[in-house]
């Protein structure tokens, strides 16, 4: 049908779930990462800037409650009628602390008027059972999504980018979250374009995520090469080739075809601050990229899941 996307988009999912458009409000709650502070490694992931994934947060140094209201005020400039919000603890690893600290920081924002859910960006090595139990309690009060950074399922790539955890640990963590917090949804994060990964490896990353694990959503990120990151050296020494827009569109469309149609696509590209981005510069035209993906799916006569084993239709 004209106007409908060829994949199960997050915007459509939230409209069905909450009955209207819902804002996802990014918050920097002051957490660190275990591969930055020496818990498992130093220096962080090689693609990560010193400010982590929160480069676009409006007021990251403000108190949590103040951040919340500054973010929604900013969003209301474009969508003044939206009145439902999901608090997104985005930057760094938002379960990398003692439970009492986590609880104190979460409660500062999730009790604000209009908050209907909580999204938590974290890693598989930072979810002990007691933390998952707290998330289970929260899921009785609101919609809870655990966003697990994986980025790749290949150990050689994981070592190269300094993830400092294994794919096996990721699988085990997903199983524990599903068991201990069954109402919480799990979203896997993958990055397309990591050093040394081929088109087929990027497809295999998705296959493993959706066949090995009981997840409810997936985020497909484009690798952004940023200033002041360790990955700059890989690029300047020729170990990293940035994807072209045509390559990226082809990869994402192939990935969408093998992702079962019930899985929500939380993201199929990404954002990066212009003044920090080394490349690919075409990624700054986000809507052009999104439109190119949709156009290619339509050109193929394709849709999400049409090559997944459990689907009965074909592309």
pTM reported for the whole predicted model: 0.93
Residue range of the domain that includes 97: 10-300
The pLDDT mean for the chain works out to 92
The reply to whether 258 falls in a domain is: yes
Q: Is residue 47 part of a domain?
A: yes
Chain segment 193-252, per-residue pLDDT in tens: 999 999 999 999 999 999 889 999 999 999 999 998 989 988 888 888 999 999 999 999
16: its two tokens: 């069905």
pLDDT at position 311, please? 44
Q: Which residues pair with 151 in a beta bridge?
A: 190
Residue 307, in any domain of the structure: no
**Short-list 259, 277, 281, 278, CA closest to 268:** 259
Domain-located, residue 311: no
| Structural contact between residues 204 and 212, judged by C-beta atoms closer than 8 angstroms | no
Domains contained in the chain, number = 1
Span 118-174, pLDDT tens digits: 999 999 999 999 999 999 999 999 999 999 999 999 999 999 999 999 999 999 999
Q: What is the mean pLDDT of residues 183-197?
A: 96
- Inside any domain, residue 39: yes
**CATH code, 271:** 3.30.750.200
Question: What gap in Å lies between CA 54 and CA 221, rounded to an integer?
Answer: 15
314 domain residue, yes or no: no
Domain assignment present for 92: yes
Q: Which two tokens stand for residue 203?
A: 């497809």
Residues in contact with 179: Cβ distance below 8 Å, sequence separation at least 6, in sequence order: none
Domain membership flag for residue 2: no
């Amino acid at each position: 049908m004209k106007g409908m996307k060829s994949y199960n988009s997050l915007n459509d999912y939230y409209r069905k779930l909450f009955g209207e458009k819902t804002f996802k409000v990014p918050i920097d709650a002051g957490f660190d990462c275990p591969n930055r502070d020496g818990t498992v490694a130093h220096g962080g992931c090689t693609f990560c800037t010193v400010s982590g994934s929160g480069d676009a947060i409006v007021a990251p140094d403000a108190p949590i409650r103040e951040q919340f209201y500054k973010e929604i005020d900013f969003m209301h400039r474009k969508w003044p009628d939206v009145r439902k919000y999901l608090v997104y603890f985005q930057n760094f690893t938002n379960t990398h602390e003692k439970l009492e600290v986590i609880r104190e920081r979460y409660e500062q924002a999730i009790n604000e008027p209009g908050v209907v859910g909580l999204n938590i960006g974290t890693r598989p090595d930072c979810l002990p059972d007691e933390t998952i139990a707290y998330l289970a309690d929260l899921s009785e009060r609101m919609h809870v999504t655990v966003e697990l950074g994986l980025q790749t399922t290949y150990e050689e790539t994981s070592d190269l980018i300094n993830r400092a955890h294994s794919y096996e640990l990721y699988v085990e963590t997903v199983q524990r979250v599903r068991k201990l917090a069954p109402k919480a949804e799990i979203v896997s994060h993958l990055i397309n374009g990591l050093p040394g990964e081929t088109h087929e490896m990027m497809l295999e990353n998705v296959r493993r995520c959706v066949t090995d694990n009981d997840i409810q959503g997936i985020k497909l990120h484009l690798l952004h090469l940023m200033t002041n990151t360790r990955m700059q050296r890989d690029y300047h020494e020729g170990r990293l080739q940035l994807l072209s827009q045509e390559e990226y569109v082809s990869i994402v469309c192939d990935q969408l075809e093998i992702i079962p149609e019930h899985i929500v696509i939380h993201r199929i590209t990404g954002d990066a601050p212009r003044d920090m981005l080394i490349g690919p510069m075409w990624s700054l035209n986000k809507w052009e990229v999104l439109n190119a993906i949709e156009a290619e799916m339509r050109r193929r006569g394709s849709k999400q899941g049409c090559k997944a084993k459990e689907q009965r239709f074909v592309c």
